[in-house]
């Protein structure tokens, strides 16, 4: 088969390639992307669409960015990869320095991982090794809140929402973790301390078995795009400290400005014991994640036999990924212009999206930082909506009842207006259809 024609390439893809969360035998339609530049994806056939997803939270500076391209190109000429066991290199050292500078002073040790899920696995392993080193071997379980999402690998799955999460099919095969009620008070709501009673009871009952509590700070992403009150995190931090439980902040989606702060933990001014980053770390150029550990965690793990942390993937600290991550962080922090731009994006998303909250079919509209969410009353028909979005010149991938966007920060006002108008158009149309039925 000649794969040079788009139709044949798509047919081959359909017959042989497994896509995320998709059937192999009857996959949903896929669009063929030929290239991407700025906020635009160039589809085969000539259509250009604005990426409202930043390739799943990652491409914060858009595509084909000259500075990021140059960082990769320069690093390629030095070396694309060397093993990290017994060897080190400037891109990893520079990236670790930047991550340590950006995060609270206690987080002094960086472990590079291959993907977000692996960074979560690493954090969970560190928590277990920490209590092993302290001789508190009863602390082997993990606690979390409902509606969370932490990745698709085994232990990461075990702390995703057990009922509505994508992993319920694996049921009893997964390690059984402890789940508290999800945070209730919205980000800007009136804080009600009684919200902590359920989580407090859980921790009081099981603290002697719990090694760590893992949570997505402020924004519960794939578990429902929910924005919760910073006070929840502050109370959780206090509970964890009081009961000798490590707090793992999963900032894989929220890290690097997305919620309006560099890290979402900053909304609550808390410091976790372990912090996971990924996704936007490389500006969406390639896969890389990291787990940052507080000194007490890293030093305790190293203080008792076997005196090492038992993890070491082949592509750990890949120089190309580290080099582009350094360049991406520099783009974020130089001149401090990105936080101001995110505040403008937030304002425009608010003004553009809030009017649809009055439609009958819409349950709720919420915006935080560069994230805009329209929650519908009924589950949306993704197969029907996606062509409509493309028709409107935009790329979105709704799930469940949620139509949402987290655009690249480089999006300009006109492009953002096109994105917002496209969302509103499609929602109005879909609201109309739902009203009829």
Closest CA to 284 of 325, 230, 335, 342: 325
Residue 222 CB, shortest distance to ligand PMP, in Å, is: 5
Asked if 148 and 217 touch (Cβ cutoff 8 Å), the reply is no
Task: Please tell me the chain's helix, strand, coil percentages from 3-state DSSP, rounded to the nearest 5.
Answer: 45, 20, 40
Residues marked as catalytic: 21, 149, 250, 279
Cα–Cα distances in Å, from 247 out to 195, 305, 334, 375?
19, 23, 30, 30
Q: CB neighbours (10 Å) of residue 323?
A: 28
Q: Which of 51, 195, 216, 375 binds ligand PMP (CB under 6 A)?
A: 216
Q: Is 218 a residue that touches ligand PMP (CB under 6 A)?
A: no
Nearest residue to ligand PMP, by Cβ distance, number only? 116
Q: Which of 132, 150, 167, 267 binds ligand PMP (CB under 6 A)?
A: 150
Q: Is 161 a residue that touches ligand PMP (CB under 6 A)?
A: no
Q: Is 120 a residue that touches ligand PMP (CB under 6 A)?
A: yes
Asked if 426 and 389 touch (Cβ cutoff 8 Å), the reply is yes
Q: Identify which range of 22-30, 109-117, 187-195, 291-299 contacts ligand PMP by CB under 6 A.
A: 109-117
**Burial level of 175, CB count in 10 A (0-12/13-18/19+)?**
middle
Q: Is 278 a residue that touches ligand PMP (CB under 6 A)?
A: yes
Q: Is 222 a residue that touches ligand PMP (CB under 6 A)?
A: yes
Task: Please report where in the chains the tokens 């080193």 appear, as a residue.
Answer: 133
Closest CA to 198 of 143, 251, 268, 158: 143
CB closer to ligand PMP out of 132 and 366: 366
CB closer to ligand PMP out of 217 and 422: 217
CB closer to ligand PMP out of 116 and 284: 116
Q: Which of 121, 161, 195, 250 binds ligand PMP (CB under 6 A)?
A: 250
Q: Is 91 a residue that touches ligand PMP (CB under 6 A)?
A: no
Q: Which of 183, 217, 221, 257 binds ligand PMP (CB under 6 A)?
A: 221
CB closer to ligand PMP out of 40 and 285: 285
Q: Identify which range of 30-38, 94-102, 143-151, 375-383 contacts ligand PMP by CB under 6 A.
A: 143-151
CB closer to ligand PMP out of 281 and 327: 281
Q: Is 253 a residue that touches ligand PMP (CB under 6 A)?
A: yes
CA angle 56, 60, 62 (to 5 degrees): 100
Q: Is 283 a residue that touches ligand PMP (CB under 6 A)?
A: no
Q: Identify which range of 116-124, 182-190, 309-317, 401-409 contacts ligand PMP by CB under 6 A.
A: 116-124
Residue 159 CB, shortest distance to ligand PMP, in Å, is: 10
Q: What is the DSSP letter of 152?
A: S
- CA terminus-to-terminus distance, the chain: 44
Those residues with Cβ within 8 angstroms of residue 59's Cβ, 6 or more apart along the chain or in another chain: 51, 280, 283, 284, 408
CB closer to ligand PMP out of 144 and 418: 144
CA–CA separation, 384 and 432 (whole Å): 14
CA–CA separation, 135 and 138 (whole Å): 9
Binding site for ligand PMP (CB under 6 A): 115-117, 120, 149-151, 216, 221-222, 250, 252-253, 278
């Amino acid at each position: 088969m000649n794969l040079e024609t788009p139709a044949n390439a798509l047919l081959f893809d359909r017959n042989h390639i497994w896509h995320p969360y998709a059937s192999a035998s009857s996959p949903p339609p896929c669009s063929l992307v030929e290239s991407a530049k700025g906020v635009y994806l160039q589809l085969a056939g000539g259509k250009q669409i604005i990426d409202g997803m930043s390739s799943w939270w990652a491409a914060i500076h858009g595509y084909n960015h000259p500075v990021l391209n140059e960082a990769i190109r320069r690093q390629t000429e030095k070396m694309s990869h060397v093993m990290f066991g017994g060897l080190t290199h400037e891109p990893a050292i520079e990236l670790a320095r930047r991550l340590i500078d950006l995060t609270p002073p206690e987080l002094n040790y960086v472990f590079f991982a291959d993907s977000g899920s692996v960074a979560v696995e690493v954090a969970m392993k560190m928590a277990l090794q920490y209590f092993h080193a302290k001789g508190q071997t009863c602390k082997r379980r993990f606690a979390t809140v409902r509606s969370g999402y932490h990745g698709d690998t085994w232990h990461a799955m075990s702390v995703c929402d057990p009922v509505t999460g994508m992993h319920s099919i694996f049921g009893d095969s997964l390690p059984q973790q402890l789940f508290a009620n999800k945070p209730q008070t919205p980000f800007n709501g009136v804080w009600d301390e009684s919200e902590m009673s359920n989580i407090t009871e859980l921790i009081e009952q099981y603290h002697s078995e719990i090694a760590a509590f893992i949570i997505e700070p402020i924004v519960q992403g794939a578990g429902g795009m929910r924005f919760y009150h910073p006070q929840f995190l502050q109370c959780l931090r206090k509970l964890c400290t009081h009961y000798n439980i490590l707090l793992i902040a999963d900032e894989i989606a929220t890290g690097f400005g997305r919620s309006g702060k560099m890290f979402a933990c900053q909304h609550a001014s808390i410091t976790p014991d372990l912090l996971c980053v990924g996704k936007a770390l490389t500006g969406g150029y390639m896969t890389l994640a990291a787990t940052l550990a507080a000194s007490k965690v890293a030093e305790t793990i190293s203080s008792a036999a076997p005196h090492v942390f038992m993890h070491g993937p082949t592509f750990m600290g890949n120089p190309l990924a580290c080099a582009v991550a350094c360049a991406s962080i520099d783009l974020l922090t130089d001149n401090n212009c990105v936080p101001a731009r995110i505040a403008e994006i937030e304002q425009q998303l608010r003004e553009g999206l809030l009017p649809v909250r009055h439609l009958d079919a819409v349950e709720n509209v919420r915006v935080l930082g560069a994230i805009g969410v329209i929650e519908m009353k009924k589950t949306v028909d993704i197969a029907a909506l996606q062509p409509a979005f493309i028709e409107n010149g935009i790329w979105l991938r709704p799930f469940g009842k949620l139509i949402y966007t987290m655009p690249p920060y480089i999006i300009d006002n006109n492009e953002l207006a096109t994105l917002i108008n496209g969302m509103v158009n499609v929602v109005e149309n879909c609201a109309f259809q739902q009203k009829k039925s």
